[in-house]
Amino acid sequence: MKTTLFKSILIANRGEIASRIIRTCKKMGVRSIAIYSEVDREALFVKQADTAICLGGNSPSESYLNQDKIIEIAKNQKANAIHPGYGFLSENASFAEKCRKENIVFIGPHQEAIQAMALKSNAKALMQKSGVPVIPGYAGSDQTLKTLTKEALRVGFPLIIKAVAGGGGKGMRIVHAKQELSAAIEAAKSESLHAFSNDELLIEKYIPSGKHIEFQIFGDQHGNVIHILERECSLQRRYQKVIEESPSPALTKSLREKMGAAAVNAAKAIQYDNAGTVEFILDISTQEFFFLEVNTRLQVEHPVTEEITGLDLVQLQIEVAQGMPLSVNQNDIVSDGYALECRLYAEDPAANYQPVTGTIHQFSVPKVEGLRLETAIESGSQISVFYDPMIAKIIVKDKTRQSAIQKMIYALSQMVCLGIKTNQGFLKNLLEHTDFLEGGYDTHFLDTHHKDLIINKNPKRSNALASIACTLFDWNERESKRTLLKHIPSGWRNSFYEPLKEAYKTAQDQQITCQYRFQNGAFSFWIEDQSFEVKMVSITGSKIHLEINGMLSSFEIVKNKTAYFIHNESTGAIELHQQSRFPEIKKEKKPGSYEASMPSQIIKILVQKGDEINENDPLLVVSSMKMESTIVANQQGVVKNITVSEGQNVEAGFLLLQIKEK
**Residue 513 CB-half CA count within 13 A:** 7
Q: How far is the C-alpha of 63 from the C-alpha of 59, rounded, in Å?
A: 6
**Where in 421-562 does DSSP place strands (E)?**
500-506, 511-519, 522-527, 530-540, 543-548, 551-560
Q: Is 620 exposed, middle or buried (0-12, 13-18, 19+ CB in 10 A)?
A: buried
Output phi, psi for 563, to 5 deg. -100, 135
pLDDT of 583 above 80 = no
For residue 134, give the DSSP letter. Answer: B
CA dist., res. 324 & res. 318, Å (int): 9
Among the listed residues 63, 66, 75, 76, the one whose alpha carbon sits nearest the alpha carbon of residue 37: 63
One-letter amino acid of 22: I
First to last CA, the chain: 75
Three-state SS sequence of 269-296: HCCCCCEEEEEEEEECCCCCEEEEEEEC
| pLDDT category of residue 615 using cuts at 50, 70 and 90 | confident
Residue 196 exposure: Cα atoms within 13 Å on the Cβ side: 25
pLDDT for 533 equals 98
Of 50-54, 132-136, 299-303, which gets the smallest average pLDDT?
132-136
Between 207 and 99, where is the model more confident? Answer: 99
Mean pLDDT of the chain: 92
With the C-alpha atoms ordered 528, 530, 534, 538, is the resulting torsion angle positive or negative?
A: negative
pLDDT tens-place string over residues 519-558? 999 999 999 999 999 999 999 999 999 999 999 999 999 9
What is the DSSP-derived secondary structure letter of residue 502?
E
From the list 609, 129, 49, 81, the residue with the least C-alpha distance to 376 is 49
pLDDT at position 625 is 64
Judged by DSSP in three states, 376 sits in: coil
Pairing outcome for strands 159-163 and 210-219: unpaired
Nearest to 13 by CA among 300, 215, 295: 300
Q: Taking each helix axis from N to C terminus, what angle separates 67-76 and 93-101, rounded to the nearest 10 degrees? A: 30
At 21-80, the pLDDT tens digits run 999 999 999 999 999 999 999 999 999 999 999 999 988 989 999 999 999 999 999 999
**Residues 166, 196: contact at Cβ < 8 Å?**
yes
Q: Is 589 exposed, middle or buried (0-12, 13-18, 19+ CB in 10 A)?
A: exposed
Cβ-contact 169, 196 below 8 angstroms: no
CB distance 345 to 406 below 8 Å: no
Measured CA to CA, the distance from residue 25 to residue 374 in angstroms comes to: 16
CA distance 249 to 435: 12
Model confidence pLDDT, tens digit, residues 96-128:
999 999 999 999 999 999 999 988 888 888 999
CA neighbor of 134 nearest in space, from 203, 65, 72, 67: 203
What's the rounded Cα separation, in Å, for the pair 89 and 15? 15
Supply the pLDDT for residue 214. 98
Among 460, 459, 468, which Cα is nearest to 526's? 468
| 3-class SS of residue 171 | coil
Q: Is 23 exposed, middle or buried (0-12, 13-18, 19+ CB in 10 A)?
A: middle
Q: What is the pLDDT of residues 444-485, one digit of tens each?
A: 999 999 998 988 778 999 999 999 999 999 999 988 876 655
Find, among 248, 635, 263, the residue nearest to 441 by Cα.
248
Rg (CA), the chain: 27
Predicted pLDDT of residue 650: 82
Classified as helix, coil or strand, 46 is helix
Q: Average pLDDT, stretch 72-99?
A: 97
Going by DSSP bridges, is the β-strand pair 31-36/8-11 parallel, antiparallel, or unpaired? parallel
* Residue 492 reports pLDDT greater than 70: no
Alpha-carbon distances, residue 572 vs 394, 536, 544, 616 (angstroms): 17, 20, 15, 37
| Of 549, 548, 542, 541, the residue nearest 567 (C-alpha) | 542
Residue 587's pLDDT band (cuts 50, 70, 90)? low
On whether the CB atoms of residues 592 and 134 are closer than 8 A, the answer is no
* Range list of β-strands (E), 220-266: 225-237, 240-246
Pick from 305, 309, 327: nearest CA to 317: 327
pTM of the predicted structure, to 2 decimals: 0.86
Strands 543-548 and 354-355: unpaired
HSE value, Cβ hemisphere, 13 Å, CA-based, for 219: 24
Could you list the active site residues?
297
Q: What single DSSP character describes residue 489?
A: P
Listing DSSP states for 588-653 in one string gives: PPPTTEEE-SSSEEEEEE---TT-EE-TT-EEEEEEETTEEEEEE-SS-EEEEEE---TT-EE-TT
Separation between Cα atoms, residue 414 and residue 262, nearest integer Å: 41
What is the three-class DSSP state of 460?
helix
